[in-house]
Amino acid sequence: MTPARVRGFDWLRGIAVLVMIQTHSLVLLRPELRAGDLFLTLQWIDGLVAPSFIFAAGFAMALTQVRAALSGDAAKEARRRRFRRTLRRIGEVLFVATLTNWAWFPIFREPHWLIRIDILHCIGLSLLIALPILSLLAPHPRLLRWTALGLAALAFGLAPLFEQVPPPWGNFVSFRTGSLFPLLPWSGYVYLGAAVGAACATGGARGAARWLLALTAAGIALWLLTPQVSALYPPHEFWVTDPTNHARRWTQVCLIALALLAVERVPGAWNASLPVRFVEVFGTSSLAGYFIHEMLLYFHLAGFSFEVVWGNRCSWPRYAAVLALLIACTFVLTWLTDQLYRRADARLIAKT
């Protein structure tokens, strides 16, 4: 019997994709509108998208690895299958990340663009590094949780010290090289999510909730100690690498995840409704949703893209209408991609 999905985290990922589409679509606004309370509020919300996306990726990987390891007599074979399947999906993430870079940059003439780490590269590389660790420790979920927490502390704690690392290694650890989501500090969210995923695999929603509450408490404590913690480091970019800034972000992400887990437990037919299914399509096919909306928004096809037609031209009402159209187009193409992927995935599983 296949273990049930944790729908609260599917919703977290789906909402993150929707907000990500909104974030990227701000290029459609007239430049003079990119200021004021509404814009600043959107910027604050948008700052939680990447942490949510990366956190959910770590959660899912640890959850599936631990479940496979604890699956009974067939655990050894289940772990092998799960490891191979996870490795394949990481490969898909890195392939789409490379494809996205190819769409924007001349990677064949200037190969250095291949190691410009954007969010998909960050997720793929972080999961690739974490996979052998999580797979090895999967039969020992408690040890996995604390190891993941320690690795998260290292990722966040070391980030300010690696800001000045030059390319090419700096591309992987420093935003100053032009990488938008280098592994330091962003891989820390994978490990925080992995700790919660391991807790969920053994303790269900209650186990996940306990760890989310613990991470929330730790985040608030660090947040309150911002001046003292920041003073431990040499001058650094607070809003990018400071551990207390990320403590604020993971606190908010954990509270959102807690709320979604609570909503998941509310009985009723609402959880099979069209709005819920709409969000779940983006949650379960987030890679497709990410790639498709980026191509629709920016990639020139026969001279058309949303950015070409509406970029820097929209008032707030027009922006809302064009954003709704972009989300609708992305949803349809993501749903179609999901149907094709499920069939291909089922055939691959049957062959193995």
Both 242 and 105 in one domain: the answer is yes
Say whether pLDDT at 352 is over 80: no
Last residue of a domain, one of 265, 283, 307: 265
Both 112 and 185 in one domain: the answer is yes
Both 59 and 155 in one domain: the answer is yes
Whether the full predicted model's pTM is greater than 0.85, yes or no, is yes
Both 63 and 117 in one domain: the answer is yes
In which band, very low, low, confident or very high, does the pLDDT at 284 lie, cut at 50, 70 and 90? very high
Residues in the chain: 352
Task: Give 313's contacts (C-beta < 8 A, 6+ positions apart).
Answer: 28, 30
Both 62 and 38 in one domain: the answer is no
Both 185 and 249 in one domain: the answer is yes
Both 232 and 307 in one domain: the answer is no
Both 221 and 154 in one domain: the answer is yes
What are 201-243's pLDDT values in tens digits? 999 999 999 999 999 999 999 999 999 999 999 999 999 999 9
Last residue of a domain, one of 265, 280, 308: 265
Total domains present in the chain: 2
pLDDT score at 302? 87
Buried b (16+ CB within 10 A) or exposed e, 284-312: bbbbbbbbbbbbbbbeeeeeebbbeebbe
Both 36 and 94 in one domain: the answer is no
Both 221 and 257 in one domain: the answer is yes
Both 57 and 181 in one domain: the answer is yes
Last residue of a domain, one of 208, 234, 265: 265
Cβ-based burial of 210 (10 A; exposed 0-12, middle 13-18, buried ≥19): middle
Tokens of 308: 């070409």
pLDDT average, residue stretch 163-176: 96
pLDDT score at 326? 98
Domain that holds residue 104: 49-265
pLDDT score at 322? 98
What are 93-105's pLDDT values in tens digits? 999 999 999 988 9
Both 318 and 203 in one domain: the answer is no
